[in-house]
Every structure is written in C-alpha cells, then in structure tokens.
Chain A
Amino acid sequence: MEFNIHSIVFLIFSVITLGGGLGTVTSRNLIHGAVYLIVSLFGVAGLFILLSAPFLAAIQVLVYIGAIAILIIFAVMLTRSMTRMTEIYNRQWSLSLVVSALLFVLLLVGIILPVWGPGTANAALQPSELVATTVDLGVAFVDGNQFVLPFEVASLLLTAAMIGAIVIARDRD
C-alpha cells in the first residue's frame, strides 16, 4: 500500500473510531462512555467522507451525535445509572472477551482476508473516480421501481417507534 495523505487520514479516523469504541465499552463512568461513543461516531463520519458519502457523514453527525447521544445522556441521567456502580462487567466478561476476539479473528481470517485481502482478485479493485451524488439518492428514494416502499416503511417504522417509546416511557396517567 502506498503511503499517501489519503491513507494517513484513513489511519487517523480508524484510530479515532476504534479508540472511541474501546473507551465506550471500558469506561466506568457512563457519561464518559457516551463521550467516547461520540468520538467514535465522529471517526465513522470521517470514514464516510473518505468513502465519498458526505451526505451520510453529515447525517451521522446530525442523527448520532445530535440526537442519539443526547438521548443516551438523558437516559443515563434519568436512571442515575452512572453512580454507585462498583462492578461494570458481569461474571462472563472474560468469556465475552475470548468470544469477541475469536469472532474478530474468524471474520478476518475466514472472510475478509481470503475474499478481499491483499493478493486476491478483489484486492485490485479500484473505486471509480465518479460516484453517485445525494441527488441520485433522492431520485432512488421516490422512484417507483427502486426504493419508494422502503422510503415509506421507514416513516412507518419511525412512527411506530415513537408511539411505542412514548407509551413505555410515560408515567402512569
């Protein structure tokens, strides 16, 4: 792999993403965990930009950092769950560590490296200079032959989620 500015930026964003992820699962204080989660999600947004999907990157910031992270922090505060927490891991944490590590190795050795890794036919795959834009995404969403059904179903799903969450979260009245 050649050593250019693109790969350096990729490396930085990967480290941010994975470092934030590690911080999220290991931090004792849940608010710190949420901050780490935000850092990690920023890294993912950066990866989206490198992948020429700036719209998804902006949505990532808007939805995850602007809304989901806020919601998680609200929930942490509402349940006072960051205080009085002596033990953050359950009894099976060592087993979980092994399983997760095994899963990673399995994914890497079993799928990623043999199919897309260096030396395979897919490794030479070069992305095209031109890519579809956000306008194409909009056209695809409302095209009767493409994704108009998922488009409406998404709305339905959100409606259902909102109604359900309100019913569950509200006090008895």
Chain B
Amino acid sequence: MQECIDIFNTFAGCLTASGADPGLAQFLSILLGVVLVAMGPLVIVIFLIWVERKYAARVQDRLGPNRVGPFGLLQTFADALKLITKEDITPAGADKLIYNLAPIISVVSVILIWAVVPISPLHIGADLSIGALYFVAVGSIGTLAIMMAGWSSNNKYALLGAFRVVAQLVSYEVPLVFSLLVPVMFAGTMSMQGIVEAQLGMWFIVFSPLAALIFFISTQAETGRAPFDLIEAESELVAGYNIEYSGMKFGLFFAGEFLHVFTNALIFAILFTGGWLGPFVYQVPALGIIYLFAKGSIFYLLSLHLRNTLPRIRIDQLMSFNWKFLVPVSIANLILVAFLWKVIQLIGLLPGPENASDFLAHLPAAIIMLVGNLALTVVVLQMLRNVGRRAVAANAVSTPANAELDDQPYSLPVPH
C-alpha cells in the first residue's frame, strides 16, 4: 500500500491493486489527471480576476470590488452570473461556427499550457520531452483564435484589430523563442521537469538575466498587456478583435487573457527561477506548489504593475521596438551565451552531475556569464544612446521651429 500515499501519480497502481482492469485503471488515472489539470487554471482565474481588479483599483486610488462577499472576493461569481444571463448577440453576416469557436479556442490554448507546468517534483500533467517547444506551439494557436474571431465577426474594426494583434503577437514570438533557447541550452533538455532540475545549483536568471528580461517583455506583449495593449486600444479600434462579442463569449476572451498572464508568469518562474525548487522540496513535494506559485505571483504582480503604470505605445513604435531592438538583442544574447557557455565548459568551470546541486561550484561560471551579460547590456545601452543623440541632433537641425515649441511648458508633441 506504500504506493497509494501519493494518490495522483499512483492512482492507476492503486486501482489495479484493488482489482480493476489495468487498461481501464490507466485510462481513469489519465482522466483524473486531465480533469484536475484542466480545472485548476479555471479555479485560479476566478481569483485572478479579483486580484487584477483590486490591484488596478489601488493603483488608480479606487477601492475596487468591495460589495460582494468579504473584500469583494465573490465579485467574479456575480460577474459570471451576469454574463451568463446576458443576451448573446451574433451580428448579421457573421460566420456562426468560427464565431462561436474562437473564444473557446482562445481559452483552451491557455489551458493547454498547464499540461506541461511542473508544480512539484512529482506532479506534472505530462512531462513531455519537448515541453518548452510545446509551450510556444500551443501559444501560437491563441494567435489563430484571435484571427478567427476578428474575421468571423464581419466587422471592419474587428478585422483591423485582429490584423494588428496578429502582427504584434507573431512579431514578439521571435524574441520569445530566442530567449527560450537559452534555458534549453543550459539545461540540455526541453522537458519542463528537466529544466527545473537543472537549476538545482543556480537559477538560470543568474546565468543570463538578459534572456530573462527579454522573455518577460515578450510575454508581456504576447498577452497584450500595457505598454503593449494595442489589442484593446479602445481609443483607436473601438475594442479590437472582440468588438462584436457579448455575454459569456466576451467574458471568455478576458478570462483567457487574465489566465495567460499568470500562466506566463509561472512559465517564467519555471524557466528562469527554478520553478518548484526551494528548501526541503524533495522531502515534502507539496511545498513545491507553494514555491512555484509564490515565485509566479511575484512576476505576475510585476506584470500587473507594469500594466497599470505605463502608457500605451504607438503601433509603429511597438513594431520598431520589437524588430529593431528586441530581436537583434536576443540574437546577440544567444550568440554570446552560447560562446561563453562553451568556453566555460571547455575550461572545466562547469560542475559535473556529481555536484549539480552545489551552489558554490556554480559560482565561477555564473560570474563569467553575468559579467558577459552585463557587458552586452552596457554595449546595447551605449548604442541606444548614440542612436538617440543622433536622432535628437537630426531633429534639431531639420526643424528649428521645434526648439521654440519645446520651450513652451504645455506644447503638444509634434507628430511625425
């Protein structure tokens, strides 16, 4: 009966032991796991919506939800109830099937990521050998859902919004994947569990803070959060791709977005700050859940804070920032990291598997990587400063009138 203690992983064994058909037991255990993993994010999202609204309210000097339940905790249930009983309007000329499927696909594409999130040393939906790639691949289905939603609504604004969103999402996928390559390279595996275990001695964020930063920025853009929230640029696109949606389907798009932000925070915690790793986690695996969610919550709150404090950037700036800054920097970072990593390996500074959990043994390697990253950061910032100075100089020469404008305290920015 020893194996029945950890019920989730040995459910099949337990069932077989109590006399069930092995094939059926196998299937039932998979089904149990699936239901648990698929339910988890939906339970979490109910709480996330409350956190999001409360946080936004506090930043904007409001109270936020405070009527339904203690601290307004039950507000989400009230909202859901309202959304369910709302009339659902399908615009004339909409493509019914695609129109109805799009919000569901957009939520499913987020929930699917949870299948590879390792929440403790023992608990993971499916420890795929290509887990990290699975995360990117599933994310690209979300892009498709938005495209479908925008097209099927039969609305110019929706389609225009969808086009912009898709252009944004696919663009920011490039630096995302480039920075994702870095932890994969360090760990030598794409399995999420393997990536977490490879950080036993040292978190990957120490080896390559630049990759972590780029990953964080890209995920922020992937979820369409400020300053990259052109997805729901109310002032220019009315609402964007979901303009025609109402009722529960509209709610699903938002639930999917809220969940996506938190999921990405978790993925960030797994890839760069050791996921469920923490003291005594191997003795008490359940602690891993707490560690992972604590780390994830920090990055989630950071993302919330960025969202609530930064203004939206223009779409041309958005694209330039990605293609002319993030992508080149992520490529340079990948090359630098690959070079330093190989050098460290060749001179034998990298500890072998026998002391993989030794923090001190990783220190020399970490210092070299860190210095390399900092050097690259300095170089990039220097180049940026030169570009900025040149732009300012060119501006001052071509439009002398601007100088006068700039002196006035309330001058509007000159459009170009």
Interface residues of A (CB under 8 A from B): 31, 35, 38, 54-55, 58-59, 61-62, 65-67, 69-70, 73-74, 77, 133-135
Contact = CB atoms under 8 A, between A and B. Distances in A.
B141 A70 contact: no
Contact of A77 (B133, B159, B170, B190): B159
B281 to A, nearest CB: 27
B47 interface: no
A54 B166 CA distance: 26
A55 B129 CA distance: 8
Given A35-B148, A62-B136, A73-B147, A67 B129 contact: no
B98 A62 contact: no
B98 A35 contact: yes
B143 interface: yes
A48 to B, nearest CB: 11
Contacts, number: 57
A70 B163 CA distance: 10
Contacts of A69: 144
25 contacts: A31-B95, A31-B151, A35-B148, A54-B129, A58-B133, A58-B134, A58-B136, A61-B137, A65-B137, A66-B137, A66-B140, A66-B141, A66-B143, A66-B144, A66-B170, A66-B173, A67-B140, A70-B166, A70-B170, A73-B147, A73-B151, A74-B163, A77-B151, A77-B163, A133-B129
Interface string B149-178: 001000000010001001000100100000
A69 B173 CA distance: 15
A129 B188 CA distance: 23
A55 B136 CA distance: 12
B130 interface: yes
A54 B131 CA distance: 10
A58 B130 contact: yes
A18 B74 CA distance: 48
B50 to A, nearest CB: 32
A58 B180 CA distance: 15
A77 B151 CA distance: 9
Given A55-B130, A58-B136, A70-B166, 13 more contacts: A31-B95, A54-B128, A55-B129, A62-B137, A65-B140, A65-B141, A66-B170, A67-B140, A70-B143, A70-B144, A73-B151, A77-B159, A77-B163
B130 A134 contact: yes
Contact of A62 (B140, B147, B190): B140
A70 B162 CA distance: 11
Nearest to B148: A35
Contacts of B136: 58, 62
Given A58-B137, A61-B140, A70 B147 contact: yes
Nearest to B152: A31
A59 B133 contact: yes
A67 to B, nearest CB: 7
A156 to B, nearest CB: 17
Contacts of B98: 35
Interface in B68-112: 95, 98
Contacts of A73: 147, 151
Contacts of A67: 140, 170
A34 to B, nearest CB: 9
Contacts of A54: 128-130
A62 B133 contact: yes
Contacts of A77: 151, 159, 163
A69 B144 CA distance: 9
Contacts of B170: 66-67, 70
Contacts of A133: 129
Nearest to A69: B144
Contacts of A61: 137-138, 140-141
A66 B151 CA distance: 17
Contacts of A38: 144
Contacts of A35: 98, 148
Nearest to A56: B130
Nearest to B173: A66
Nearest to A4: B23
Contacts of A135: 188
Contacts of A55: 129-130, 133
B369 to A, nearest CB: 21
